[in-house]
Amino acid sequence: MHSLLNNLNLTERLSQQVNFILETDKLKQVIRRNFIADGSRRENTAEHSWQIILITLTFSEYAKEKNIDLLKVIKMLTLHDLVEIYAGDVFLFDEKANVGKFENETQSADQLFGLLPEEQKSEFKALWLEFEATQTPESLFANAIDRITPFLLNSVNGGQSWTEAQVKAEQALKKLAVIEQGSDEIWNLFLQLLEQAKINKLLL
Amino acid sequence: MHSLLNNLNLTERLSQQVNFILETDKLKQVIRRNFIADGSRRENTAEHSWQIILITLTFSEYAKEKNIDLLKVIKMLTLHDLVEIYAGDVFLFDEKANVGKFENETQSADQLFGLLPEEQKSEFKALWLEFEATQTPESLFANAIDRITPFLLNSVNGGQSWTEAQVKAEQALKKLAVIEQGSDEIWNLFLQLLEQAKINKLLL
């Protein structure tokens, strides 16, 4: 428990929740591989998490499943990268670093969500697992948004995170294939961005 | 329109939306007065926007109105600070800087949301106005979350943004009074944090 909570007279439940909030502030210090749109610096995972929520609101009409539960999509996107606080960000195209990723992140999820009251822990962990499993319409749309976002940023910022890792177009096509299950329009956008990235030699 | 869009064959509607997304990436570069929880740096408005959504999910049970539309609360919180891209962040306790704030932000809202297709512009602007008006249950809860968040961070990071601006406890009590309309539990949390801040001489 954060030492602040020793000096407050809160319910046990609210203490746990405030403690969780203070701990999750660390997401602002998890640095991702990709750069922000103007290329001036790499982005952190907290600002990425906000951006995918904004894009979800802007692109909501493009979900393949028309009766999608948008609140659930947003819940998933708000929570899904919190595991990086302990497990770190793993670059999508770093095959080695992706070995054991799910196991590490599961440990991290249990540790972090375990700070919360029991039923809230279960709710948040279930949302994280649903996102990871890419089976439900909500999870597929959330994953489509999460994948197109850094791809779009790389398309306008010179693609430094691609070129420094020598990412190939065929790798991108494989790793972003999940987009097609979540949205026809975003898949079409991705294919066009991929062509441009090849023309501009941002991808090998 | 961003030059990227000249090379893509998208619908006019999707082009406008992608352009909006690229423009709003600038929120990551709007720096707020307050510091992140560990005090190591000031935070930017994009990461703040994510954090208030996470806190909304964690504290949803504390909304005064029990049948609150949580999706609407989150939409407001995702969008409400976008106006800072052109209008800049205004420190809550800087009385001078707050003169003309609403007019500046209205111009900014029209400019930024004006990038979107007409009915989406109207929807987003209406959400922003509803947030600002602090009348509906959703707006009151969203404002309560938005106000408690930097107060909580200042309570654990040494309160540098308070001390450098010589913020008084009575100013805080006045500026954060809206919390009481949004949530009893968050108002109680605020009052306790205020007492601690006075004891620790973080507020004058």
- A152 interaction partners in chain B (CB closer than 8 Å): 18, 21-22
* Chain B closest-CA separation from residue A101 CA (Å): 23
* Chain A closest-CA separation from residue B28 CA (Å): 7
Which domains are assigned to chain B? 12-199 (1.10.3210.10)
Range scoring the smallest mean pLDDT among A106-120, B60-74, B82-96, B178-192: B82-96
Question: In the predicted model, what is the mean pLDDT of residues A128-143?
Answer: 98
Measured from the Cβ of residue B83, the count of other Cβ atoms closer than 10 Å reads 28
Q: Confirm or reject contact between A98 and chain B (CB < 8 A).
A: no
Question: In the predicted model, what is the mean pLDDT of residues B175-204?
Answer: 97
B25 with A153: Cβ contact below 8 A: yes
- What pLDDT is stored for residue A84 in this prediction? 96
Comparing CA positions, the residue from B21, B151, B139, B31 lying closest to residue B80 is B139
* Chain B closest-CA separation from residue A202 CA (Å): 14
Cα A172 to chain centroid distance, Å, stands at 17
A97 vs B28, residue with greater confidence: B28
CA distance B193 to B202: 11
Confidence of residue B157 (pLDDT cuts 50, 70, 90): very high
Q: What is the pLDDT of residues B43-81, one digit of tens each?
A: 999 999 999 999 999 999 999 999 999 999 999 999 999
- B37 interaction partners in chain A (CB closer than 8 Å): 22, 25-26
Residue B95 in tokens? 């009385």
**What ipTM was estimated for this complex?**
0.97
Name the β-bridge partners of A44: A31
Q: What is the pLDDT of residues B97-148, one digit of tens each?
A: 899 999 999 999 999 999 999 999 999 999 999 999 999 999 999 999 999 9
Question: In this structure, what are the phi and psi dihedrals at residue A10, rounded to the nearest 5 degrees?
Answer: -110, 160
Confidence of residue A76 (pLDDT cuts 50, 70, 90): very high
Q: Confirm or reject contact between A57 and chain B (CB < 8 A).
A: yes
Alpha-carbon distance values, A80 to A77, A85, A135, A161, A178 (Å)? 5, 11, 15, 22, 16
